[in-house]
Copies of this chain bind each other. A is one copy, B any other.
Amino acid sequence: MREARHPEVDEITLTGVMAALSDPIRVGIVRVLADGRERGWGELRVPVAKSTLSHHLRVLRDAGLTRTRQEGTRCYVTLRREDVQARFPGLLEAVLAAAEEDDVGHQVTVQPGPQRA
Contacts and interface: CB of A to CB of B under 8 A. Distances in A.
Contacts of A101: 88
Copies of the chain in the assembly: 2
A98 B88 contact: yes
Contact of A102 (B13, B24, B89): B13
Nearest to A88: B98
Interface residues of A, number: 24
* A interface majority secondary structure: helix
Interface string A89-117: 11101110111011010000000000000
A95 B15 contact: no
Contact of A22 (B19, B90, B91, B99): B19
Interface of A: 13-15, 18-19, 21-24, 27, 87-91, 93-95, 97-99, 101-102, 104
